[in-house]
Amino acid sequence: MPLAQLSQNRGPCALPVPRLDRWLRRCSLLVVLSCALLISTFSFGRDQSIYATVGAGVVAGKIPYLHLWDFKTPGIFFVFATAEALFGHTMAAPRILEALGLVGMSLAMAQLSERWYGSRTPGWLGAAIAAIAHVELDFWHSGQPESFGGILTVVALWLATRDAGTRGRLVGWGTAGAMLGFSAMLKPPLGGVAVVLLAYLIAQQRELGKKQLFVGIGAMGFGALLPFLVCCAWFWARGGWPSLVWTLRDFVPGYTKLGWHGDHRALEMFYFAAVEALTRFSALIALGVVAGMMLPTIAAREYAGSFLLLGCAIVQVTGIALQAKFFQYHYGATIPLLSLVAGLGWYKVWLRARTWHQLGVWGVALVALLALQMRKPVKDVPGTIAQRTLVRLRFLLHRPPYDSRAKMDAELSRAADYDLAADRMVADWVLANTQINDSVLVWGFEPAIYWLTGRRPATRFIYDVPQRSQWQTEYSQRLFIDEVKYNHPTAIIVQHNDVFPGVTGFMTDSSGDLKRFPELYDYLEQQYELVATIEDFDMYQRQPAPLEPWRLAAPAPR
């Protein structure tokens, strides 16, 4: 029997299909809401600390790249600034925004599913798969530009493909364009989705008519350019344009080239990225996509919708291959697209299984549960997903010993050489040994210390990668030392064991790289004293200024 007829077939199961669909949707919604709640408990990793520090500066009137430096494109700083403005100076703020975005994206996936697949159930199944994969990326690989870019991409597809009148289409397409334009400001390859979406809309020319199509495309193009133009105007008016240009034009290409060293071929890296996207993060995605494309169709517009989703995913995978880093979070925007196709596949399997009596339904449920256990997408965080979830639930319920975020983070917020608990200990030392108006310097890769203390960085470079890298070193070191000497920090923190060959190009840590920065090394040796060591951090305090010669002379006799 064709799958298209199975949705109307009561078959041997006790419950009619509409009721089963409602059950599936409610279970999927529960999964999405549970995952959103868990995401709100995620604290900062190293990257999120960067975004939050720059975002807090934006709220305070500072300019990215000019006053607080990172080499990411500016969109993510505005996201974290918005989160801080809405929810306050807390690690939960951007996570709440991320969780709300996940719920909104799930609603859009359900609408897209109804539009293309004739039912919202595949969309809710896909949303649940995407939410589970998002949570399994944990604190380190979520809250990234791709995380928010994926949400914007799905919502943009929903706006651009919905049925609406002329005015509604102009607003929808223009808003979709703005979302994709801002996605490009989060990560440039994400904006390439617009090309695939444009091809899809042109294919609908018969339904729309040439005039409405051209007007709609014009609205989308204007919307896509608007975030870029507003951003450029803001940087120009605030004096940050030269710093932005140096960062994105001169520094970023050197970072990108690190991944292309050695015998790497473009097609080889594309194939690797495509296999990673399909199989690395969830067996539910891999099995569902195969089923969705291989089993018979259940709706007239199914192929159009699935090929739009897969086309957008291919564009994003191409961007991942061009970056040549293949970090897990790089796939954050692609996971929802593949999950929606996977939701269709699992729904087709579900419909077919209904004809196999209750044994078929339970069999599908068992296979799905087994598929959940087949992949472990993140291996550099402590414990299993079940163990981490239990700790987070105890935090949400304020149950000891995880009745505070700091206690939870001491258990969970660790990855590779990063330990948020150590950052908190260093921050406590800084707060106890400096005044509120003092500047401090962290020679390392731990911007969380600035965010935790609220102390003024002694330089725009809130971490030391530019001064330790193989490119733009002379220029960045000159900026760095001039600003440090001008601000004369009260305390300097030097980090050990932060080795990042994929970022700096060297196998040395910050402490070792001091010798390749002789001016900073001499400045530290001459004017600062080592007073404490906390975990991987050496704490230096500024020595009192030497007395003038007349103060050293013996007092005159009376």
Residue 429: CATH number of its domain? 3.40.50
Token pair 């979830």: residue: 389
Q: Are residues 82 and 210 in the same domain?
A: yes
Cα(206)–Cα(219) distance, rounded to whole angstroms?
19
Domain boundary among 316, 344, 372: 372
Check whether residue 226 and residue 342 sit in a common domain: yes
192: which 2 tokens? 């390439």
DSSP string, 467-526: HHSSSSHHHHHHHHHHHHHHH--SEEEEE-S---HHHHSSS--HHHHGGG-HHHHHHHHH
- Same domain as 367, residue 442: no
In a domain, 451, yes or no: yes
Residue 101 in any domain: the answer is yes
pLDDT score of 265: 78
- Give residue 198's domain range: 25-372
In a domain, 18, yes or no: no
Question: CA–CA separation, 549 vs 558, rounded Å?
Answer: 21
Residues 221, 321, single domain; the answer is yes
Measured distance CA(240)–CA(238) in Å, rounded: 6
Closest CA to 466 of 485, 487, 483, 488: 483
Cβ contacts of 39 within 8 Å, gap of 6 or more: 95, 98, 99, 102, 134, 135, 142
Determine the pLDDT at residue 264. 66
Q: Are residues 309 and 223 in the same domain?
A: yes
The list of the chain residues with pLDDT below 70 reads 1-18, 164-166, 205-208, 259-264, 357, 545-558
Quote the radius of gyration of the chain (alpha carbons, Å).
27
User: Is the four-CA dihedral 369, 373, 374, 375 of positive or negative sign?
Assistant: positive
* Same structural domain, 136 and 206: yes
pTM of the model: 0.92
Asked if the structure places residue 386 within a domain, the reply is: no
**Which phi and psi angles does 543 have, rounded to 5°?**
-75, 150
Q: Are residues 506 and 427 in the same domain?
A: yes
Report how far apart, in Å, the C-alpha atoms of 247 and of each of 244, 251, 510 are: 5, 5, 21
15 within 8 A of 25, measured Cβ to Cβ: no
Residue 9 counted as domain residue: no
- Measured N-to-C along each axis, helices 145-161 and 166-186 cross at an angle, to the nearest 10 degrees, of 160
Asked if residue 13 belongs to a domain, the reply is no
Residue 36 lies in a domain: yes
Residue burial 228-244, b: 16+ Cβ < 10 Å; e: rest: beebeeebeeeebbebb
75 and 182 belong to one structural domain: yes
Q: From 308, 341, 372, give the residue that closes a domain.
A: 372
CA 512 to chain CA centroid, Å, is 30
Per the structure, the count of domains in the chain is 2
Rounded to whole angstroms, the Cα distance separating 434 from 163 reads: 60
**Domain co-membership, 354 together with 479:** no
| The two three-digit tokens of residue 46, written as one number | 């190293």
Looking at the structure, tell me whether residues 266 and 362 fall in a common domain.
yes
Query: 198 in a domain, yes or no?
Result: yes
User: Residues 93, 183: one domain?
Assistant: yes
- 347 and 440 within one domain: no
- Answer with the one of 372, 400, 425 that is the final residue of a domain: 372
Residue 509 one-letter amino acid: D
